Amino acid sequence: MALLITDECINCDVCEPECPNQAISMGEDFYQIDPARCTECVGHFDEPQCVQVCPVECIPVDPAHTESQETLWQKYQRLQKAGQPLSSAGEASTPPPAAV
């Protein structure tokens, strides 16, 4: 699933640089996540990095964008092919195990 930033966001700027997919940007009133770029950090990290750093816990999963692990992995691969350079540390080289 892609994640979603709610209006509880305090615009603290912490999450934006943590996103490996450049999916987070400033919206009209608070930060927003581009669901086309959010892989829930699949392919980069075990946990969503934005959720890890957000001080007010305002980043739930987006019910409008439910995706399987495999779909998230395919999105990750598409983003890589689109020109985003592979990062170094912690980079996964094989697909994650299928969700049970």
Report if residue 26 touches ligand SF4, rule: CB under 6 A.
no
Please identify, using beta-carbon distances, which residue of 49 and 73 lies nearer to ligand SF4. 49
Would you say 2 and 27 are in contact if contact means Cβ atoms under 8 Å apart?
no
Q: Does 72 bind ligand SF4 (CB under 6 A)?
A: no
- Does residue number 12 form part of the binding site for ligand SF4 (CB under 6 A)? yes
DSSP 53-70: H-TT----B-TTS---HH
| Nearest distance in Å: CB 75, ligand SF4 | 9
Tell me: does residue 79 bind ligand SF4 (CB under 6 A): no
Q: Which of 17, 36, 56, 60 binds ligand SF4 (CB under 6 A)?
A: 56
Rounded CA separation 37/26 (Å): 15
For ligand SF4, the closer CB: 50 or 67: 50
Cα–Cα distance between 12 and 90 in angstroms, integer? 26
Instruction: For residues 79 and 68, give the distance between their C-alpha atoms in angstroms, rounded to a whole number.
Output: 17
